[in-house]
Amino acid sequence: MILYNTLGNKKGEFIPHTEGKVNMYTCGPTVYHYAHIGNLRTYIMEDVLEKYLRYAGYDVKRVMNITDVGHLSSDADTGEDKMLAGAKREHKSVLEIADFYTKAFFEDCKKLNIKTPDVIEPATQCIPEFIQMVDTLLKKGYAYEAGGNVYFDTSKLDEYYVFGNQNQDDLEVGVREDVSEDENKRNKTDFVLWFTKSKFDDQELKWESPWGYGYPGWHIECSAISIKHNGEYLDLHCGGVDNAFPHHTNEIAQSEAYLGHKWCSNWFHVTHLLDARGKMSKSKGGFLTVSLLEEKGYNPLVYRMFCLQSHYRKPLTFSFENLDNTATAYNKLLKKVSALSPQGEPSTEEAKPFIDTFKKNMDNDLNTSLGITSIYDVLKAKISDSTKLYLINDFDKVLGLDLVNQAKEMAEKAKSSIDTAKVEELIKKRTEARAKKDWATADIIRDELNAMNIVIKDTPDGITWSVK
Ligand code: AMP
Ligand code: ZN
């Protein structure tokens, strides 16, 4: 598979450390609020990537953290702790907030058909691992204590800006020119590994450590959790593009300093979902959630399809008008799928060229919009309905649009709004008329059924009917 790798900023062959096996890590949500549909764009695209790797035959282990401590309102270690802010907003404890929004996040994932990772690890469950890692970094001379906190010393690295594409905006978010923001830092790019004192003092959750009673910095959690579950070599690290700097840059710095060798070979970053105000973000407020889309009558899978129609490295602008277009396309697809009447076995010979094309496109840096085109191509093709259904199920293992089940549900819903007894009575009368060769009556009844949007099909098992 060819994937774009932010490390090196180019497309290249994806080669895992151990043949056939993929160790994959995903930065999980900061659970101080509902995930917005921008966050979920990232998780949807990561889910498709994971599913495609499995489809391509890899044995994937996917690990995700839950940030329930340590993420300050600026990604550059300044401001208030996001979890604490959430707890204050709702007059609850940090753990109550974390528990509530973690559940809400996985409920949203379920609605969007995002697979649950193999390992989910809240940061608060890994304090001993963080302490051990910080301790090793201090012993190796990569960290220093100052003003009660422990900092990573970026001047000890040969290379810090590993992704090499930080723009001015990134730098402004990630690195404050004004070092006096935190006068303990020796270099402006240094970051906190462990907090005890200073102005970040009103933390609700604290733990004993060799450096005093305190709490971990945000970046350390992903390195420690990944190394704990994925081991010393990571094949694929994912996140939204805002995570690349400083979060992922800092993860690389501390992981490689700790391990003493290269750590993660491929970085997969999803570009932001935008709205009329720019990047959708939790801190700006006024963001959209899956529940809100549902309240407005959208099937969450329409949003999944909306994301898949665009490439993960392109900015995607959300509007209800665009979502409506996708909803129309999705419903049309469901109708076409529900109109299939498979008989007999699918043909592998018929299926092969379609599978080859699907793989070719997905192998090319996860081209999901062409992945969806494959479904349309199958539906249009002159192949049996059995093969069509087989292929749709096959591609949907990766795309996750739940087409066959949703099509069935749609057909059943349409059927339940129809006067079934009347339809069956009419079909019976039509059959009797045809048996008597009374074609005129049979035609009148067919027209009547037509007017009710009923389609009848003569099959070897008798007459079946569905709603148009
Ligand atoms: P957070 O809960 O803020 O830690 O973010 C969870 C994930 O969503 C991270 O991978 C972020 O990079 C990503 N993310 C944040 N905002 C957006 C956005 N507007 N579009 C796409 N991904 C985003
Ligand atoms: Zn992370």
Q: How confident is the model at residue 99 (pLDDT cuts 50, 70, 90)?
A: very high
Q: How far apart are CA 34 and CA 321, in angstroms?
A: 23
Mutate to test the pocket of ligand 1, among 24, 68, 242, 288 (most ligand atoms within 8 A of CB): 242
Examine the pLDDT at 468 and tell me if it is beyond 80: no
Q: What is the model's pLDDT at position 454?
A: 87
Q: What is the model's pLDDT at position 185?
A: 92
Ligand 1 proximity of 273 Cβ (cutoff 6 Å): yes
Ligand number nearest CA of 242 is: 1
Examine the pLDDT at 297 and tell me if it is beyond 90: yes
Examine the pLDDT at 444 and tell me if it is beyond 50: yes
Q: Which amino acid is at 291?
A: S
Question: How far, in Å, are 119, 446, 467 from residue 160 at the CA level?
Answer: 29, 74, 62
Q: Ligand 1 centre from 62 Cα, in Å?
A: 18
Ligand 1 proximity of 39 Cβ (cutoff 6 Å): yes
Q: Ligand 1 centre from 98 Cα, in Å?
A: 17
Quick one: which atom of ligand 1 is closest to the CA of 279?
19
Q: Ligand 2 centre from 354 Cα, in Å?
A: 37
Q: How confident is the model at residue 258 (pLDDT cuts 50, 70, 90)?
A: very high
Quick one: which atom of ligand 1 is closest to the CA of 242?
12
Q: What is the model's pLDDT at position 180?
A: 44
Ligand 1 proximity of 229 Cβ (cutoff 6 Å): no
Contacting residues for 110 by C-beta, under 8 A, at least 6 apart:
none
* More reliable by pLDDT, 392 or 83: 392
Ligand 1 proximity of 244 Cβ (cutoff 6 Å): no
Overall average pLDDT of the 334-352 stretch: 95
Ligand number nearest CA of 221 is: 2
Ligand 1 proximity of 392 Cβ (cutoff 6 Å): no
42-46, 285-289, 331-335: least confident range: 285-289
Q: Ligand 2 centre from 233 Cα, in Å?
A: 16
Q: Ligand 2 centre from 292 Cα, in Å?
A: 27
Q: What is the model's pLDDT at position 176?
A: 44
Ligand 1 proximity of 29 Cβ (cutoff 6 Å): yes
Examine the pLDDT at 302 and tell me if it is beyond 80: yes
75-84, 191-200, 338-347, 412-421: least confident range: 75-84
Q: Ligand 2 centre from 220 Cα, in Å?
A: 8
Ligand 1 proximity of 239 Cβ (cutoff 6 Å): yes
Ligand 1 proximity of 28 Cβ (cutoff 6 Å): no
Ligand number nearest CA of 43 is: 1
Are 54 and 60 spatial neighbours (Cβ–Cβ below 8 Å)?
A: yes
pLDDT digits (tens, 9 = 90+) for 17-74: 999 999 999 999 999 999 999 999 999 999 999 999 999 999 999 999 999 987 776 6
Examine the pLDDT at 170 and tell me if it is beyond 90: no
What value does the mean pLDDT of the chain take?
A: 92
Overall average pLDDT of the 292-313 stretch: 98
Are 456 and 464 spatial neighbours (Cβ–Cβ below 8 Å)?
A: yes
Ligand number nearest CA of 246 is: 2
To the question of pTM greater than 0.85 for the whole model, the response is yes
Q: How confident is the model at residue 178 (pLDDT cuts 50, 70, 90)?
A: very low
Overall average pLDDT of the 406-424 stretch: 88
Ligand number nearest CA of 46 is: 1
Overall average pLDDT of the 409-431 stretch: 88
Examine the pLDDT at 75 and tell me if it is beyond 90: no
Overall average pLDDT of the 277-286 stretch: 83
What would the 3-class secondary structure string for the chain be? CEEEECCCCEEEECCCCCCCEEEEEECCCECCCCCCHHHHHHHHHHHHHHHHHHHCCCEEEEEEEEECCCCEEECCCEEEEHHHHHHHHHCCCHHHHHHHHHHHHHHHHHHCCCCCCCEEEEHHHCHHHHHHHHHHHHHCCCEEEECCEEEECHHHCCCCCCCCCCCHHHHHHHCCCCHHHHCCCCCCCCEEEEECCCCCCCCCCCECCCCCCEEECHHHHHHHHHHHHHCCCECEEEEEHHHHHHHHHHHHHHHHHHHCCCCECCEEEECCEEECCEECCCCCCCCCCHHHHHHCCCCHHHHHHHHHCCCCCCCEECCHHHHHHHHHHHHHHHHHHHCCCCCCCCCHHHHHHHHHHHHHHHHECCCHHHHHHHHHHHHHCCCCHHHHHHHHHHHHHHHCCCHHHHHHHHHHHHHHCCCHHHHHHHHHHHHHHHHCCCHHHHHHHHHHHHHCCEEEEEECCEEEEEEC
Ligand 1 proximity of 70 Cβ (cutoff 6 Å): no
Mutate to test the pocket of ligand 1, among 24, 31, 32, 39 (most ligand atoms within 8 A of CB): 39
- Closest protein CA for atom 15 of ligand 1: 39
pLDDT digits (tens, 9 = 90+) for 364-414: 999 999 999 999 999 999 999 999 999 999 999 999 999 999 999 998 888
Are 24 and 50 spatial neighbours (Cβ–Cβ below 8 Å)?
A: yes
Ligand 1 proximity of 269 Cβ (cutoff 6 Å): no
Q: Which residue has the tokens 């009347």?
A: 422
Overall average pLDDT of the 173-190 stretch: 70
Examine the pLDDT at 167 and tell me if it is beyond 80: no
Ligand number nearest CA of 67 is: 1
The total number of residues shown for the chain amounts to 468
Nearest alpha carbon to residue 112 among 293, 269, 240 = 293
Q: What is the model's pLDDT at position 179?
A: 42
